[in-house]
Structure 1
Amino acid sequence: MATARPGQFPGDDDFPWWLVALSAIALSLAGVIVANDIYAQVFAVVTKGLGVTILVTLAAFTLATGLGLVLALMALSEHKALRQVARFYTEVIRGVPILVLLFYIAFVGAPALVWLVNAILSPLIEAGHVAAVEVRDLSLMWRAILALTIGYSAFIAEVFRAGIQSVDKGQVEAAKALGLSRVQRFRLVVLPQAIRVILPPLGNDFVAMVKDSSLVSVLGVADITQMGKVYASGSFRFFETYSIVAYVYLVLTIGLSLGLRAIERRLRRSAR
């Protein structure tokens, strides 16, 4: 039985027949979309939400990555209070379904945030220098982005924490002996090595967020899923519509997965 070479994962040499099959199906469906007026119309409507899907995903993932890094550093802090706060946050948020979190942030968290902002600005509001903020000023799309940010930051924090802890402590001690500050040790020694461990699961979280961004449609945000839902409810062409919706998501997620795998292979080769 063939075994993988050192530094190589099993199956790396397998010819990607699955990708050939998927490519053939994708090309066939593309041909149907071009040739069939109904599918072409559905595709044109559904892809109007593509920009919103990309915006929601990129904005939420960027914010979640930043917040996740902060939480990971808190979890690894020398201060017990910071570690406990980070652990409390990650355990609670990871235990709440994204859909529930979406509703909670949209209809409970957003009004509470507006109330807090108005309370802080109350002297300026009473003096007439600024107008009071209203709940409708915070759009449903940004409420959805905030919910995805909070939901994914807990998972990303664990990814960062595991990656940082994978770095050999001896190298950190050596950097400390050379007189590097804590920030310099993290930036020059820890992060460059941890990124090889962090990138694959972080990429998986990004692909997962592309799919979970479809949940924002429950708030009426005009993403791919919402555009398909509106079209299907008006035309009753559910098969055609949701086939196209699934097709668009598959193109996005599989394309991203292939790109991330290529980056991962390059990192593995550079680490040898």
Structure 2
Amino acid sequence: MAKIEEKQSKQKIEITDGVLIPARDDSSIFSAWRISFYGAIAALVVLPFLSPEPYSHVLKFIIGFDENWRFDIGNSGLVKTFEVTVLSIFFALFIGLLVGLGRISRISFINRLCTVYVEVIRGIPLLVQLFYIYYALAKFVKIMDISAAVIAMAICYGAYIGEIFRAGIQSIPKGQMEAALALGMSRSQAIYRIILPQTIKVVLPPIGNEFIALLKDSSLVSILAVSDLLRRGREYASTSFYYFETYTMVAIIYLILTLFFSRLVAIMEERMKINANQS
């Protein structure tokens, strides 16, 4: 009975953005991930070919091509989406690292401050945070649309990534810290030289999943007039009235991006497991 309870306690439910990714030993051609990914690519190619008006025009408009298929980076919803996502995850990582270190700090004020930050930010929806920074704070300071989007998403995801760093640091065996202290290192030196390098390997997969979630949530910045994929789609649909066709193409592009990066995260995680087993 004790063994059964111990086995059940080790079981955990994990839901990530990579649930459709086939396992390493899954050789099935018709796996869920392959059907979804290649089906989306096929739809992206076939729909503009079968019906150039409007699918081809929609695709060119939201990606950033003109009528002669010349790429205009300034009008590319795809480029703007990646710009917001990459900048947001960069600053979120910086915030998250500081918050994660603060959450394990022995200084009660810093620990409590970081804990309050995590609780408050995680308790407010991202959409509300976007409105608050762009509209509410405009009473005191005017923030540009893309800057407000990056700030809001970095602050929001910084709280979640901070918890990832905290859990990653605490997952390192305590013997590592004790050995570093025995060698004459201070606690700070041990964290930066011994603990953090090992933590990075632990937190990379969950941070990869946060990147994917942030990529999808970047569609919310369209409400701030940031010309991302969804905003460009809304602009096209509002003038052409092809709502079904426009949002179908937008959804397909987001699906391809999400599944592609989910696959990369799964490959990274698998290789890290192999390297860990070999070492």
Q: How would you bin the TM-score normalised by the shorter chain?
A: 0.7 to 0.9
Selected match of 2:62 from 46, 50, 63: 46
Corresponding residue of 2:189: 184
Q: Is 1:21 matched with 2:35?
A: yes
Deviation at 1:19, TM superposition (A): 2.7
**Whole-angstrom distance in 2 between the partners of 1:94 and 1:71:** 13
Q: Is the 8 A contact 2:33 2:259 kept in 1?
A: no
Q: Is the 8 A contact 1:207 1:257 kept in 2?
A: yes
Once the two structures are superposed, residues 178-236 of structure 1 have per-residue CA deviations (whole angstroms, 9 ceiling, x without a partner) of 12344432233212322232112111110000000000011111100000011111111
Deviation at 1:253, TM superposition (A): 1.0
> What is the one-letter code of the residue matched to 1:199?
L
Q: Is 1:86 matched with 2:80?
A: no
What TM-score do the two structures reach when normalised by structure 2?
0.82
* SS of equivalent to 1:15: coil
Q: Is 1:61 matched with 2:89?
A: yes
Q: Is the 8 A contact 2:97 2:165 kept in 1?
A: yes
* SS of equivalent to 2:239: helix
> What is the one-letter code of the residue matched to 1:74?
G
Deviation at 1:31, TM superposition (A): 2.5
Deviation at 1:20, TM superposition (A): 2.6
**Change in 2 beyond 3 A, CA 1:68/1:24:** closer
**Whole-angstrom distance in 2 between the partners of 1:109 and 1:209:** 23
Unaligned runs of 5+ in 2: 1-13, 15-21, 64-75
Q: Is 1:32 matched with 2:32?
A: no
Corresponding residue of 1:71: 99
**Whole-angstrom distance in 1 between the partners of 2:47 and 2:187:** 58
**Correspondence list, 1:121-132, <5 A:** none
Corresponding residue of 1:154: 159
> What is the one-letter code of the residue matched to 1:21?
I
**Whole-angstrom distance in 2 between the partners of 1:218 and 1:267:** 39
Deviation at 1:111, TM superposition (A): 4.1
Corresponding residue of 2:18: none
Give the paired residue count.
Answer: 241
Q: Is 1:211 matched with 2:225?
A: no
Unaligned runs of 5+ in 1: 1-8, 115-134
Deviation at 1:46, TM superposition (A): 1.4
Deviation at 1:177, TM superposition (A): 1.0
Selected match of 2:250 from 245, 250, 266: 245
Question: Considering only aligned residues, what root-mean-square deviation do their CA atoms show, in Å?
Answer: 1.8
Once the two structures are superposed, residues 121-176 of structure 1 have per-residue CA deviations (whole angstroms, 9 ceiling, x without a partner) of xxxxxxxxxxxxxx2xx311111111111111111110000000000111111011
> What is the one-letter code of the residue matched to 1:54?
F
Calculate percent identity across the aligned residue pairs. 41
Greater CA drift, 102-111 or 14-23: 14-23
**Change in 2 beyond 3 A, CA 1:111/1:67:** farther
Q: Which runs of 4+ in 1 moved over 3 A?
A: 9-12, 181-184
* SS of equivalent to 1:171: helix
**Change in 2 beyond 3 A, CA 1:23/1:89:** closer
Q: Is the 8 A contact 1:110 1:143 kept in 2?
A: no
Q: Is the 8 A contact 2:37 2:260 kept in 1?
A: no
Q: Is the 8 A contact 2:62 2:229 kept in 1?
A: yes
> What is the one-letter code of the residue matched to 1:104?
Y
